[in-house]
Structure 1
């Protein structure tokens, strides 16, 4: 509170004055002071809302866990490339009942795949002498360097003795190998908190402070019913986790890991000279539009081909681009990426080059945090992927940025300030009952921001983003119950992507009208089906390839289509009867990924001057995807995915949906209080 108020932020003052007002009105002395001045009905409403929004004992939402024996937390912390997940994964593989909860579905899928194949050596077991480590793992396991002893964690081939049946559950996909499987791999948001586990692994624990997703990590730490919980991540999370564990009455053991290969800062930057980029380099930039220009410029200056990885690309495409960069048999020698390369991708990077050290945060350009610089820079020189004594090197494209990186790497991590809380049925339902009957969904988010009382180590997730989502949901989902609205609000919809929101709106409007949603109709009504078919037709056309600008615009549209398909799949696992087209959605998503891969290939073929860039790109993509024969996508027409749809069904132009910026003026705390009270306005009785 002191830190927020001393920042001079007017909205922070509004928040805390409003919180103090509601809590004071709920105390006997406050009630007595207001008696005769403020109507009793208003005071009663204020008290009801304060008690409904009180999160000071939020851990007791997880009653089963609170009534269970104390849990043992083991933190594995260290920089990137320190092997910090080594012991946690081995403990999971040895557990009778175990769960892995990670930030990305690709990581959840890898754990699922390797446990079922017996590729993770359980704790207490010795790998066969001939076992080889698998350098393709996306996990920071290292290979423990006990003198004279080779310690393998993830093996290249499976061992039948180590096979463990494991199911997988993510928001958009489920793989159930056996209803009797006692191991589960999932994304953090899908963690079953009431089920008992002997061992749990929560990956990337520093994301507990993330403004958008941190609430899922907090819920897992507070509510996961497990005897032993391994937390893997950055050292910055230690003080916060210590406070939480102490408050819960559990125990905590911290194991620190050192980087397995040295990381050094180059003496000089590249001085803006792209021709100095070498094989094995990763160039990091933070503008999606700028990435394409940077890729083109590097390829032109070095004659080396660049892979590409950024946040809006689906994880499957990012993983494929990473594999091309890693493959010595491919012609990809450099990778250009955003901060998406900092997590979940196995990359054989020798040198990381920061194209810039400033990033747009939605309101202004800011310098990357120490944590961000450390995590991205740490991808250089990954242990086991180059010579064992090869150091990772970090530099910048421009000289002024080099000193910022030089100071950040040896600096201690900035400790996390808050664990984020998120909306749940348990927290929202009492608030809805306390609010006026006609209160909007966005008002619920404001209550958490302006009224809720929380312990000092907690803060609510990004309310402004929640309000963006709630306002959109209120506008077209009035038929939904509060729990259903929460499910929609927590769905993987990018609420500031206008086209994706159109797709979400179409899905929910069809549900409201028919109570059953077909994926083709959702894409059609969301004005995306025509664009998808246009992209597929471009891919199959015998004529010249589109120019680079058009290709990038098509790729941008396909990224949105992919997000809407993910959204449909997400709903299909929660409302299977209402969303019956899961298989069709998977098939269309695969086609979309194929078209995206083709777009990336066309950009290269166009740059090198291929005579038939479209055909060459198609040939290259089909070679990389042997399981997807060319005849599966040949003859694509406007009727391929949905009935009869004429090519002039819509007159639409491609454009880049940059999202909607959200601005809010600060409110006087009395005005904010009145929003919560509706017709029971806070006013002085005259």
Structure 2
């Protein structure tokens, strides 16, 4: 017993201290992957009450007086079944454990309780239970602890014959079904989540020599080159990207890396119009510009995540380089800056990146040249707010808000109170719809633009005046005040410089608000000194993660690996680098991680899929992943998705809301994304392309004919009974195509 607790104290409490003492004075950055003790960790417990984390023999679940009502506290029958079945599992798994293994089994028990606590506390549990559809595989061998409560609630969804086969000689009772689910889930947690974290493993193939504590060394081939990093920095509308693109045009082999698919497409179209051969490479779309001999163009326009870091280039352009500080996607800019194999790397963005990039270049040993530009045009913050509210708006104004509901409310209100026609842009609109709305505004067909901060990047808009409706925005957790960088990026869209403007034609942009207190915040933000970036967000490449997985027991889930790497890197990486936020990646992994027939590298790849956090989209992605697991070949129309609503008759039917069509659009684009990576499984691009165009058309028409806000509480968003019509729709569509 003393030896067990001594090991625990060493591995958990004293690991980092002892490790630092051993290497003190030898090097500044810890080479953490030269010693495998970093792997020994305790599973995280986030939902279980703190006082219960040391009470391994606890069975029931305790909720305070002020805790929200849940099925455990309100349904006595469920409470009794769960308590009894947990008692069975405790006696079976823990009281009979072998000597030396109690500690690991204790943590598996606590982790099981942690999962159950988290789901019982979830305010959307009832909705998740409705959407949960247990598969036969999960019935026989549950391997998804995140769904254990919905599994328990839906134990009777399968007939008694199926349960008799699963339970073998046991009585087909609800208690035995609960015990089966909880016992199997406990085994999964013990084998796949606890042991991989808490057991040290031996060297297998030399992977212990992997050192990822210094991201600069991840890209050995780039470090062999003497690269020239050329910075183009300045405020919005200073022509920095234009100058970098002129260098790219004259290169034999080059890549433009933009933050958005629509911006990559815009550069591709611009090059094609100018007679410059160019390919397009995004997650969802690949176009090869082939010559008569079938050779692709030497230049490519694409998204930053798609930069091929193993390919040699003459010139690479990294646009919006300040995005390297973004906790979700910043790793793509950082990896491209560190790893692009190019003689010249042109980085375009805000001056706030200058000190950080200078420090990074000192580590890489590359040459650095800095070009700084001034704004092409004037920009002024107005002295007064708009005196008559919406009636003070004029043609060329852009009104800024930060939620879909608010944006559509503003569109309806402005069109009601004035004679002005309003275009809208927000993040979840299809890029093609955003381009259409921008064209209607720029051409003068629509008078006013109402938009989110999506206008701050990737769209050329002829805005004369930016009007902020608020100085706060929701960051996913809480309302926070707009940063000075946000304010400058959005406000800088006013007075957009047009090519060919000279002298008196140089535009004047204005910024104002509806509210005096908001105007004060905006003025402070515009006048604030530059807030320099302190660190770049990083994340190891899939190849590095693949090398590290050999240090874990076979079958370790990718989520365990990613969490372990993140925890260690957070403590050991150079101060210039910050860990990427794994929230989105782990949310996507949770959809398919339990599918044993998907290979580890495929799971890493799929974790990067652009899955919107919408029920219909997550369900669709689960079906796509099942196709990969089963090695099937399927067209998009073979899935039971409600494409029958892509009908002109639905345009004026308000029960089919915008969110439904935005979900369908994301499903279609996920199909393209997967088709580019698994072309043998996802086929019939012609049908998918047709559905994409239909979806874009209906979203555009719904916006144009908007009579009431579909995002208001209580607005109908349900798909209803449309699934019943699906077979009819598929038959009709097939006949039309033929």
Aligned to 1:219: 335
**SS of the residue 2:264 aligns to:** helix
**Residues 425 and 434 in structure 2, CA contact (< 8 A), matched pair in contact too:** yes
CA distance in 2 between counterparts of 1:403 and 1:271 reads 16
**SS of the residue 2:315 aligns to:** strand
Are 1:479 and 2:597 an aligned pair? yes
**SS of the residue 2:706 aligns to:** helix
**Residues 26 and 47 in structure 1, CA contact (< 8 A), matched pair in contact too:** no
Aligned to 1:619: none
Q: Note the C-alpha offset of 1:47.
A: 9.3
CA distance in 2 between counterparts of 1:76 and 1:19 reads 45
Are 1:273 and 2:384 an aligned pair? no
Aligned to 2:266: 110
Are 1:318 and 2:318 an aligned pair? no
Aligned to 1:533: 644
Aligned to 1:381: 495
Aligned to 1:176: 288
CA distance in 2 between counterparts of 1:47 and 1:412 reads 52
Q: Deviations over 1:515-535 (max 9, x none)?
A: 22321133x1xxxx32x3235
CA distance in 2 between counterparts of 1:208 and 1:366 reads 21
The correspondence for 2:692, drawn from 583, 586, 589, is 589
**SS of the residue 1:184 aligns to:** strand
Closer, same or farther: CA 176–18 of 1 in aligned 2, 3 Å: farther
CA distance in 1 between counterparts of 2:15 and 2:267 reads 44
CA distance in 1 between counterparts of 2:546 and 2:388 reads 56
Q: Deviations over 1:645-685 (max 9, x none)?
A: 9xxxxxxxxxxxxxxxxxxxxxxxxxxxxxxxxxxxxxxxx
Q: Note the C-alpha offset of 1:18.
A: 8.9
Closer, same or farther: CA 535–66 of 1 in aligned 2, 3 Å: same
Closer, same or farther: CA 242–602 of 1 in aligned 2, 3 Å: same
**SS of the residue 1:199 aligns to:** strand
Q: Note the C-alpha offset of 1:429.
A: 1.6
Closer, same or farther: CA 229–45 of 1 in aligned 2, 3 Å: same
Tell me the number of residue pairs that the alignment of Structure 1 and Structure 2 aligns: 532
Aligned to 2:244: 88
The correspondence for 1:20, drawn from 16, 39, 54, is 16
Q: Deviations over 1:391-439 (max 9, x none)?
A: 1100112111111110111212211122111342222123322234353
Q: Deviations over 1:610-661 (max 9, x none)?
A: xxxxxxxxxxxxxxxxxxxxxxxxxxx845753489xxxxxxxxxxxxxxxx
**SS of the residue 1:45 aligns to:** coil
The correspondence for 1:461, drawn from 557, 566, 580, is 580
**Residues 519 and 568 in structure 1, CA contact (< 8 A), matched pair in contact too:** yes
TM-score (norm 2): 0.67
**SS of the residue 1:82 aligns to:** coil
**Residues 423 and 486 in structure 1, CA contact (< 8 A), matched pair in contact too:** no
**Residues 102 and 108 in structure 1, CA contact (< 8 A), matched pair in contact too:** yes
**Residues 646 and 694 in structure 2, CA contact (< 8 A), matched pair in contact too:** no
TM-score (norm 1): 0.72
Aligned to 1:546: 653
The correspondence for 1:510, drawn from 602, 627, 641, is 627
**SS of the residue 1:307 aligns to:** strand
**Residues 271 and 399 in structure 1, CA contact (< 8 A), matched pair in contact too:** no
Q: Note the C-alpha offset of 1:383.
A: 1.3
Are 1:407 and 2:524 an aligned pair? yes
Q: How does 1:56-71 map to 2 (within 5 A)?
A: 56-68=213-225, 70-71=226-227
**SS of the residue 1:393 aligns to:** strand
Q: Note the C-alpha offset of 1:28.
A: 9.7
Q: Note the C-alpha offset of 1:463.
A: 1.9
Q: Deviations over 1:95-131 (max 9, x none)?
A: 122221111122222222222332xxxxxxxxxxxxx
Closer, same or farther: CA 112–22 of 1 in aligned 2, 3 Å: farther
**Residues 52 and 434 in structure 1, CA contact (< 8 A), matched pair in contact too:** no
Closer, same or farther: CA 281–443 of 1 in aligned 2, 3 Å: same
**SS of the residue 2:630 aligns to:** helix
The correspondence for 2:466, drawn from 352, 355, 365, is 352
Q: Note the C-alpha offset of 1:19.
A: 8.2
Higher helix share: 2
**Residues 304 and 333 in structure 2, CA contact (< 8 A), matched pair in contact too:** yes
Aligned to 2:666: 563
Q: Deviations over 1:301-355 (max 9, x none)?
A: 2220100000000111001000001113x2x100001010111111110100011
Stretch deviating more after TM superposition (456-465 or 309-318): 456-465
CA distance in 2 between counterparts of 1:207 and 1:638 reads 42
Aligned to 1:130: none
Are 1:167 and 2:283 an aligned pair? no
Max radius of gyration: which structure? 2
The correspondence for 1:194, drawn from 310, 325, 328, is 310
Q: Note the C-alpha offset of 1:511.
A: 2.9
The correspondence for 2:319, drawn from 191, 199, 203, is 203
CA distance in 1 between counterparts of 2:728 and 2:330 reads 41
Closer, same or farther: CA 454–304 of 1 in aligned 2, 3 Å: same
CA distance in 1 between counterparts of 2:272 and 2:216 reads 34
**Any unmatched runs of 5+ in structure 2?**
1-11, 26-31, 42-99, 101-194, 710-724, 734-738
Q: How does 1:253-652 map to 2 (within 5 A)?
A: 253-270=369-386, 273-328=389-444, 330=445, 332-384=446-498, 388-452=505-569, 453-475=572-594, 477-494=595-612, 496-522=613-639, 524=640, 529-530=641-642, 532-536=643-647, 538-539=649-650, 545-547=652-654, 550=655, 554-603=657-706, 638-639=726-727, 642-643=730-731
CA distance in 2 between counterparts of 1:424 and 1:354 reads 39
Are 1:232 and 2:348 an aligned pair? yes
**SS of the residue 1:362 aligns to:** coil
- Higher RCO structure (Cα 8 Å, ≥6 apart): 1
Stretch deviating more after TM superposition (380-389 or 179-188): 380-389
